Amino acid sequence: MSSQQSRDIPLPPLSGGMLIAAGLILAAANFVAVLDTTIANVSVPTIAGALGASSSQGTNVITSYSVAEAITVPLTGWLANRFGTVRVFITSLIMFGVCSALCGMATSLSMLVVFRVFQGFAGGPLMPLSQTLLLQIFPKEKAAMAIGMWSMTTLLGPVVGPVLGGVICDWMHWGYIFYINVPVTLFCGYFGWRLLKPHETSLVRLPIDRVGIVLLIVWVGSLQILLDEGKDADWFASPEIRVLGIIAAIGFAAFMIWELTERHPAVDLRVFRHRGFSASVITIVLAFGAFFGTAVLTPLWLQNNMGYTATWSGCAVAMTGILAVASAPLAAMLSSKIDGRWLVFFGVMWLGVVTIVRTHANTDMPFWGIAFPLLLQGVGLPFFFVPLTGLALSSVDEAETASAAGLMSFCRTFSGAIATALVNTSWENKTKYARAELSGLVDKAGHYATTLTHAGWSAEQARGQISNLAQSQSVMLATNQLFMVVGFCFVFAAVAVWFSPKPTRIADTSQAH
């Protein structure tokens, strides 16, 4: 069958109660997929402690899911073509629930990371296919309602995730952050199949790009293992890390060459020839990586060094989503009236300015001193996400829309995984450096130690108190320094969007993942 042959057969949209039920099922499926990208963020210290690992090792729980998801997202279009949109969606949903149950039953960090990888593989197609199916079952005149439903669940996931993860870790076994997916996925899988089966799409038997898929897995997996393990292995002083670096570099080069010359590539890299698309991808890689990096760093800082419980840490992080949800309709309305570059520039620059303001954090800050900037930060998110998708997809040929959307989602997801590893490593290194600097400056004359001993402290207790003070301030300095770096990443991302030419058409974002 020709690759140009459409796999979609015109089908009548649903109506009445069946439309509402199918819409809720698809929205719920999208919600659990988005939820699992953030629910583990505030839970890392608890999970790591329960499984006998360090917090830095515990971040593998986040990155393993992100990388696995990043691999399957660009393959979603090919999978749907070959096996059918509904079949792939329902199978992914059921497997997501099964892998969630396995994650909850893990008895070691290694076991949990492996199950998170499989969970990420299953979760990758859920977001793009839930959007595709919503647009398929809703009448055209209600397409805006379908996109609104999808967007709301996408924005609510990051809001609910940190709070729910924190409450579960404080009051229940950490495994329940994964178990809660099981009834939702099984329920939605069963009734979703019954409702959506008649709306299955036709199949297109395109050749399988086995070499491209293998090369994608090899270089992405090698690079992520390098980033995760490098900090504990002294980076390239370790032979294993050097080997991983060589494999990742060769695999990436081979992947680029193969995909650019393959007739039916798994990932169509040719879309990067469009300047607008390339500029948009640079913007989303820098901005999303910066945003996700701070989303991981903040709960680690609050729980390990500010004495916050997982619940209160989650409440602070979730503040970002409140104004994001509130401002999303305005961003969507303006996207159809204003040059998208101005909206993206405003949104990303706003994120950068607020992040730079956060560099004035100190160890005596109250809850609202931490939460209020995060609340304000949420204003910029919809102005970043909503128009950037349209800007990127309007820059490519219409026939390339699906490939461009999948590739953009891959870059976005993978940038979050890389940022998590880099932020975690940099935080540890900067803390050690600051501690070494402060150790020679804190109480050089011994006045504070003398005051403590006169107050009844033993010499050992006084030294311990001074050591704790130096460590606390070292962490605070490292955290503020990273906030500054992240803030300038946002600024660079905001400037990068201007390398994109003014869009000349409105893109069909129904293929956006």
In 440-455, alpha helices (H): 447-454
Amino acid found at 84:
G
- What count of Cα atoms within 13 Å lies in the side-chain half-sphere of residue 57? 15
Residue 179 tokens read as 């178990």
Per-residue tokens: 15: 């109506």
Question: Digits of tens for pLDDT over the chain (513 positions)?
Answer: 444 444 444 556 666 677 778 888 888 888 888 888 777 767 778 888 888 877 667 777 877 887 788 788 877 777 877 888 889 999 999 999 999 999 999 888 889 989 999 998 998 888 878 877 877 777 776 665 666 666 677 767 766 777 788 888 888 888 898 999 999 999 999 988 988 888 777 777 777 788 988 998 898 888 877 877 777 777 778 888 899 999 999 999 999 999 888 888 877 788 888 888 899 999 989 998 898 888 888 888 888 788 888 788 888 888 888 888 788 778 877 877 788 889 999 999 999 999 999 998 888 889 999 999 999 998 888 888 778 877 887 788 766 766 777 787 778 877 887 887 788 888 888 888 877 777 666 655 565 666 667 666 776 766 666 667 777 888 888 899 999 999 999 999 999 999 988 876 554 444 444
CATH 1.20.1250.20 matches 282-513: yes
Provide φ and ψ at 273, rounded to 5°.
-70, -20
Question: Under CATH, what is the fold of the domain 13-206?
Answer: Growth Hormone; Chain: A; (1.20.1250)
Q: Is 373 helix (H, G, I), strand (E, B) or coil?
A: helix
Q: Give me the residue label for tokens 């949990």.
A: 112
**Helix locations, 73-107, DSSP H:** 76-83, 85-104
Q: Rounded CA gap, 377 and 317, in Å? A: 11
Stated as kind and residue range, the H or E segment containing 473 is: helix 459-496
Residues in contact with 485: Cβ distance below 8 Å, sequence separation at least 6, in sequence order: 426
16: left (phi over 0), alpha (psi -120 to 50) or beta: left
Crossing angle of helices 310-335/340-357, nearest 10°? Answer: 160
The b-or-e profile of 228-243 (16+ CB within 10 A means b, else e) is bbbbebeeeeeeebee
Indicate the angle between helix axes 143-171 and 380-393, nearest 10 degrees: 130
Residue with tokens 């939820």, as numbered in its chain: 35
CA 316 centroid distance within chain: 18
